Structures are given as structure tokens and as C-alpha cells.
Amino acid sequence: MNFNIRGENMEVTEALKDHVEKKVGKLERYFDTTPSSDVHVKMSILNKEQRVEITIPMPKLLLRAEEKHADMYAAVDLVVEKLERQIRKHKTKVNRKYRGDDSLKYMFKNELEPLAEEEFPDEDIEIVRTKRFDLKPMDAEEAILQMDMLGHNFFVFSNSVNGDTNVVYKRRDGRYGLIEPE
């Protein structure tokens, strides 16, 4: 794994880098062959809140977790626990759903312990409501105003500039994001 560790509003010390590489490196035990993917680690401090965000893009799987804590080392430990749980959850899901398809199983060790039934929610996804509406052509600013007026945290609209279907959403930091198709 190739590590890309960066700090925002802070300097990442060698001790902190070593801690991240040691902890995230333990995830290799879950794979048959060591993944050759990049590990993107973003550490930041905002007020007195320390945050760690780790993203590991892999073929057919994206591992991502973030955690906040008063101590950066503790935040790293908590993020790695989340990533371990994601790996176990994905392995359990693959074993249940794709029994005959080895293409998704190839990356995990077979002795990986699956999640217990009570830890893994039922696979049946139930859609309880369907909404239909016309996508009115508008720009992103108008879509944000519509979203705020409705009190929602996202809004789907047809972009009047290029005609694509876009989504605006409210971020945790109170600002807004725009999702556009490629």
C-alpha cells in the first residue's frame, strides 16, 4: 500500500505517519495478496476537534471512513476499526450474494471471520415509498434555494446549462455540494 498522508491546519509528524502506516498496514491481513492501492489519509484540526479521513480505492471496492476525536491517535484507531468492519461486512455480503462468482471473492482471505447475523442487517432492501416529479430546468443556485425552502438536505434537478440531471446537497459543514454525471 502506498500512503498519501496530508494534514490540514496541522503538521503531520513522523510519529503520526508511523502510527497511521502501522495501523492501516494491519488491514493487509484481510487480503490474499497485499493490495497495491493508494491509501489517502487526510488529518485536520478544526477548533479543538481532530479529524481523520482514510480512503482506500480498490478494484470493485472503495473503503472510506472518517472519525473525530480529541486525540489524533485515538481517531486513527477508531477509523481503522471502521475500515475493518467494512471489510468484514463486504466479505460477508460477497459470500451470501455471489456464491458462484469468484471475481468478487478473490481479494479476501477465506479464513476471514464473517459478521455475526445480529451485526449484519437483513439483505432484503425494502422500498417503502416512491416519488415521481418533473425535473424543472434550473441552475444550481436556484436548486439550493428550492432545497432550503423544502427543508430537505438534497435536491435533484435538471441543469439548465447542460441539460444533465444534477443533485445539490447540504454538507455537514453547512456549505453545499453539487453532484454532476461524468
Domain check: are 158 and 75 in the same one? no
Does a structural domain hold residue 85? yes
Domain count, the chain: 2
CATH number for the domain including 175?
3.30.505.50
Query: What pLDDT score does 89 carry?
Result: 81
Q: How far is the C-alpha of 112 from the C-alpha of 125, rounded, in Å?
A: 25
pLDDT digits (tens, 9 = 90+) for 68-123: 999 999 999 999 999 988 888 877 776 665 555 555 555 555 554 555 544 545 55
Domain check: are 148 and 101 in the same one? no
pLDDT digits (tens, 9 = 90+) for 121-138: 555 678 888 888 788 899
Query: What pLDDT score does 130 carry?
Result: 87
Domain check: are 38 and 97 in the same one? yes
Contacts (Cβ under 8 Å, ≥6 apart) of 162: none
**Helix (H, G, I), strand (E, B), or coil: what is residue 34?**
coil
Domain check: are 150 and 89 in the same one? no
Is the model's pLDDT at 151 over the cut of 70?
yes
Query: What pLDDT score does 74 carry?
Result: 92
pTM given for the model: 0.60
Does a structural domain hold residue 130? no
pLDDT digits (tens, 9 = 90+) for 3-23: 899 998 889 999 999 999 999
15 Cα distance to chain centroid: 26
Does a structural domain hold residue 128? no
Domain check: are 79 and 145 in the same one? no
The closest alpha carbon to 46, from 72, 84, 18, 80, belongs to: 72
Identify the domain containing residue 164 by its residue range.
137-179
Does a structural domain hold residue 126? no
Does a structural domain hold residue 131? no
Helices (H), the chain: 14-25, 72-97, 102-105, 140-150
**Helix (H, G, I), strand (E, B), or coil: what is residue 50?**
strand
Domain check: are 67 and 105 in the same one? yes
Does a structural domain hold residue 168? yes
